Homo-oligomer: A and B are copies of this chain.
Amino acid sequence: MAQKKGSNVTVRDVAKAAGVSTATVSRVLNIDASFPGGRSVPVSSEARERVFSAAALLNYTTNHVARSLKKGSTRTIAILAPELANDFFMELAEAMEKELGASGYMLFVASSSNSAEEEARRLGVLAERIVDGIVVIPAASRGEHIQKVADRGTPVVLVDRLVEGAELDAVLADNEGGAFEAVSALLADGYRRIAFVGGDVSLSNARERLAGFGRAMAGAGSGVGSEALRLGGMGIEDGYRLMDALLAEAEPPEALFAVNLMVHLGMERRLLEAGKEALERTAIASFDETPYTPFMPACRYSVAQPAAAMGVAAARLVLERVGSAQSGDDRGEPRILRLPTRLVKHMRGRC
C-alpha cells in the first residue's frame, strides 16, 4: 500500500541530516515557535542553523497529530452551531476564531443540522480528544447530552440559548431587554394593538423575548391578552403561515413583533405576495439585524444582537475552562454572561 501522505519526513530524518539528535531538533523547532526573538535558548546557534536548513531541505512538516497525542491537547476549540448558513452564528464564529487565534488556538466549526440527535453525535466525536473545548449553540431545549460531554471532561460553554438539563457557562444576548426596547419603540410610535409573532417557547431565547414583549405591553397599560400572541415556530415557513393567518383576520393587530429573523423573513415574504396595501398598513419590529434588514419593506425596528462580542466572550470562557481543566483545578460555578442588544430604526418612504 505504498506511502501514506506525500512527505513522511520526521524529526528523526531531520536529526540525521543535521547530525544532531531528535531532542535537539524538537528543541530548535519548538523554542523558535514560542520565542520569535530567539534569545536565551538552550541550544547553540550553530545547531539551530543546521536543524533549520536540514528541515528546509527535507521539506519537513510537523506532525500535529503526534504532537497532540504527546501533549494531550490539540489546541483546537470547536463551535457546534445548528446550521452554518446563518449570519448570526457565523459572525459569532468569526469573532471566536480571531480571539482564539490570539491564544494560539484554532477554531473547528461544525453543524448540528438543527437536530438534537445529530448534536449529540457530533459532540461525542468532538469530545474524543479532537478538541480541547466546545462552544455549543444548542439545537433544542434539552441538554442532558451536552452536560454529559462536559462531565466527561471536555469543557463546554453554551451560547445564545440555555438548555434544561445542563448547568454550564453561557453567553447570551439580553433577549428580554431587546424585545422590550423594540416593542416600547412601537408603542412610542403610537401603535397599541401589537402582536408577538412566532416563537417556540420551549427555547429559552424565545421565552425571554416573549417576557420582554409582555413587560413593554404591560407598562403601556395595555395588558397582553392571549389574542396578542401568535406563537408557533422559529422558521421561515412559520412566519409565512402566521402572517397568512393575520392577513385573514377581521381586526388584525396594528403592529407586529417577530421573534427572530427567520420568522420575520417569512412574514415579509407573505406580505410581498399580498401586495402594496398590505405592506403599507403593516409595521414590524423584529429580533435580529442583518445587512438585508434595511430592505425588508415592513420593517420599522430591528434588534441587533452583539454577535462578535458574544463570540469573544465565549472564546474567553472556554479558554479559561480549558486552562483550569488541564491544570487540574476543579470547576467553579457556571457563569452566565448577558450582553446588551442594540435597537436599529429603519427609515420608511422608500417604496
A residues lining the B interface (CB < 8 Å)? 1-7, 59, 61-66, 68-69, 72-74, 83-87, 90-91, 93-94, 97, 106-111, 113, 125, 127-130, 151-154, 236, 265, 268-269, 272, 275-276, 279, 290-292, 294-297, 325-328, 347, 349-351
Contacts and interface: CB of A to CB of B under 8 A. Distances in A.
A351 B66 contact: no
B87 A153 contact: no
Contacts of A290: 292
Contact of A68 (B65, B73, B111, B297): B65
B83 A94 contact: yes
A69 B66 CA distance: 6
Contacts of A295: 268, 272, 292, 295-297
Contacts of A69: 63, 65-66, 69
5 contacts: A64-B129, A84-B84, A94-B111, A268-B295, A276-B351
Closest 3 CB pairs between A and B? A6-B153, A2-B328, A351-B351
A110 to B, nearest CB: 7
Given A84-B93, A90-B90, A269-B294, A328 B3 contact: yes
A86 B125 CA distance: 27
A248 B68 CA distance: 59
Contacts of A328: 1-3
B74 A85 contact: no
Contact of A128 (B62, B268, B269, B276): B62
Contacts of A94: 83-85, 111, 113
A6 B152 contact: yes
A155 to B, nearest CB: 9
A65 B129 contact: yes
A213 B90 CA distance: 33
B84 A325 contact: no
A154 B87 contact: no
Given A5-B72, A64-B125, 16 more contacts: A7-B153, A59-B152, A63-B69, A64-B130, A65-B68, A66-B129, A83-B94, A84-B93, A87-B87, A97-B110, A106-B125, A107-B110, A108-B109, A275-B349, A276-B350, A295-B297
Contacts of A296: 295
Nearest to A71: B4
B349 A153 contact: no
A6 B272 contact: no
Contacts of A111: 94, 97
Given A110-B109, A265-B291, A295-B297, A153 B5 contact: yes
Contacts of A87: 85, 87
B5 A325 contact: yes
Contacts of A272: 294-295, 347, 350
Nearest to A1: B327
Nearest to A130: B64
Contact of A61 (B66, B128, B294): B128
Contacts of A2: 327-328
B84 A90 contact: yes
Nearest to A118: B101
A109 B84 contact: yes
